[in-house]
Structure 1
């Protein structure tokens, strides 16, 4: 793994905010001012393909990156806010239901976050 790859992996593993590639790039530039955005994208893609990080895709938003620790996500349908939620590992239950091995799953539950609910109530929509 390259030095940039190691630093990017460390940033993702230490973050709890589901950072975009651009946010990771900005944080990495603090210690490596010569890094370019393409390097960040290439390393994120490599780390994701190797199974070392998770890519979280939400329609209408840039991909975000997350640590590999098993957990699921709540996604605000209105603003796209992403929040971790631990529902336990559902793999065994899913395997029993479908009758074959599950390699992985990515569960995203849609909801309205507190701010979007308040905003919606204030606007009466």
Structure 2
């Protein structure tokens, strides 16, 4: 693994906020690492292809990147916020019910985060 890929992998693994490619780039720049945006994109694609990081797609928002530790996500349908949640591993029950050999799965539960819920309630109150 090249030096930039290792730095990017370390950045993703240390992150708790599911950074976008641009956020990874800005983080590296702040640390004094000289990389181009293209280098970040290429290394993220390579790390993802090798199964070393996860890519979390949220419709309407840039792709986010995450570590590969087994966990699931809550995804706010309004602002795109991602929250890690630890749910039961469903692999065995899916295999039992379907008869299929499950390689992996990603579970993203769509919800409305507290801030967006509060904003919606406030907006509704103004219209009543």
What TM-score results when the alignment is normalised by the length of structure 2? 0.94
**CA offset at residue 44 of structure 1?**
0.3
- Give the distance between the partners of 2:14 and 2:33, measured in 1 at CA: 20
- Give the distance between the partners of 2:116 and 2:109, measured in 1 at CA: 16
Tell me the secondary structure at the aligned position of residue 96 of structure 2: helix
**CA offset at residue 98 of structure 1?**
1.2
Residue of structure 2 equivalent to 1:68: 68
Find the structure with the greater CA-based Rg. 2
Query: Which runs of 5 or more structure 2 residues have no equivalent in the other structure?
Result: none
**CA offset at residue 102 of structure 1?**
0.7
- Give the distance between the partners of 1:33 and 1:81, measured in 2 at CA: 27
Residue of structure 2 equivalent to 1:114: 114
Query: Which runs of 5 or more structure 1 residues have no equivalent in the other structure?
Result: none
- Give the distance between the partners of 2:68 and 2:34, measured in 1 at CA: 28
Greater CA drift, 24-33 or 89-98:
24-33
Tell me the secondary structure at the aligned position of residue 19 of structure 1: coil
Residue of structure 1 equivalent to 2:48: 48
Question: Aligned ranges for residues 6-85 of structure 1 at < 5 Å?
Answer: 6-85=6-85
Q: Which runs of 4+ in 1 moved over 6 A?
A: none
